Amino acid sequence: MGYKVVVVGATGNVGREMLNILAERQFPLDAIAAVASPRSTGDIIDFGEDGQTLKVHNIEHFDFTGWDIALFAAGSGPTKIYAPKAASQGCVVIDNSSLYRMEPDVPLIVPEVNPDAIDGYKKRNIIANPNCSTAQMVVALKPLHDAAIIKRVVVSTYQSVSGAGKAGMDELFNQTRAIFVGDEPEQSKFTKRIAFNVIPHIDSFLGPDSGMDGYTKEEWKMTAETRKILDPDIEVTATCVRVPVFVGHSEAINIEFEKPISVAKAQSILREAPGVMLIDKREDGGYVTPVECVGDYATFVSRVRKDPTVENGLALWCVSDNLRKGAALNAVQIAELLGRRHLKKG
């Protein structure tokens, strides 16, 4: 006996990755439905490696009654309309958008970090998936926090264009090609040219009434979500930067602890931590970059070293596939956790 699962936004980057991961991880399925906007209705998409195909259903007419889990990768607009509908029809929603993340009665889950929080899903029948940059960071921070209690985190992100969807990937490709052939690169998705450039601006700027004047919403998400998932007492300051990489987010993280922790101890902890792959050789190429992480499940940690500017400090480098752990994989892992703890069909 398995689950009846709906993937909403199935034709987008994250939706397709959700379908891939459900198949890869052999999620126990009785039925699978691909759902998207009216313009994709009737499209045929692949599922798994055995030649199975799915016909895309129109979200406007889809009935969630009798379905167990809906993985939403449709953005906040459609989610605001259709997630409550699915939840009210008895289908548990796992939402990848930012819409519900900071709602106090909606659990925000990274299974390696706060699995017990999933027990609160019944309040609204909705579970939130965190921001891509937050997800990989808290996987790396959790075991270190358990060992030495984190006080403060300073993080700079290097976020790939796939975090902005297909339009972001297309813009990097088209601008790069235009520059190589001597054409003027066209700019529409990003606020500056992204090809051969970096942009210290993701999402909208916050105003003086926000308490974080000058920060962007993406930076606020990392702060607020880390506190909700990991510990409300942790101070976080983030600088989020878009870089000309197609897939894979990177982060340079400085951590201040309450208790002393050596580099060797941190490496030992990370080596055994769930979801973490430590690759930390102090030699040329002895670290992970976005190119190597694409298609992998792990959050990779490299360059663990002492931060001499604070009493108990470490610095490290963290890389993960943002379409996987940062989005689709985490959503499927939440579904697996939900099944083990509550639905118990598989």
The CATH number linked to 38 is 3.40.50.720
Q: Are residues 41 and 137 in the same domain?
A: no
Q: Are residues 50 and 94 in the same domain?
A: yes
> Token pair for residue 202?
């993701």
Q: Are residues 63 and 156 in the same domain?
A: no
Query: Is 318 annotated as catalytic?
Result: no
**Can you give the pLDDT at residue 262?**
98
Selection from 28, 30, 35 nearest residue 12 by Cα: 35
Q: Are residues 162 and 305 in the same domain?
A: yes
- Separation between Cα atoms, residue 1 and residue 3, nearest integer Å: 7
Q: Are residues 125 and 141 in the same domain?
A: no
Q: Are residues 285 and 305 in the same domain?
A: yes
- Separation between Cα atoms, residue 339 and residue 125, nearest integer Å: 14
218-256 pLDDT, tens digit per residue, is: 999 999 999 999 999 999 999 999 999 999 999 999 999
Q: Are residues 86 and 99 in the same domain?
A: yes
Q: Do 135 and 221 form a contact (C-beta atoms < 8 A)?
A: no
Share above pLDDT 70 across residues of the chain, in percent, rounded to a whole number: 100
Q: Where are the beta strands (DSSP E) in the chain?
A: 3-8, 29-36, 44-47, 52-55, 57-58, 69-72, 92-95, 126-128, 150-159, 235-242, 249-257, 276-278, 299-306, 313-320
159-218 pLDDT, tens digit per residue, is: 999 999 999 999 999 999 999 999 999 999 999 999 999 999 999 999 999 999 999 999
**Can you give the pLDDT at residue 345?**
85
**Can you give the pLDDT at residue 268?**
98
The CATH number linked to 185 is 3.30.360.10
**Can you give the pLDDT at residue 216?**
98
Number of domains in the chain: 2
Q: Are residues 197 and 220 in the same domain?
A: yes
- Flag whether pLDDT at 346 surpasses 80: no
Check 91, 132, 240, 293 and give the catalytic one: 132
Query: Is 145 annotated as catalytic?
Result: no
43-74 pLDDT, tens digit per residue, is: 999 998 888 999 999 999 999 999 999 999 99
Containing domain of residue 179, as a range? 133-322
- Separation between Cα atoms, residue 340 and residue 346, nearest integer Å: 8
Q: Are residues 121 and 240 in the same domain?
A: no
Selection from 239, 248, 255 nearest residue 304 by Cα: 255
Check 91, 145, 240, 249 and give the catalytic one: 249
**Can you give the pLDDT at residue 49?**
86
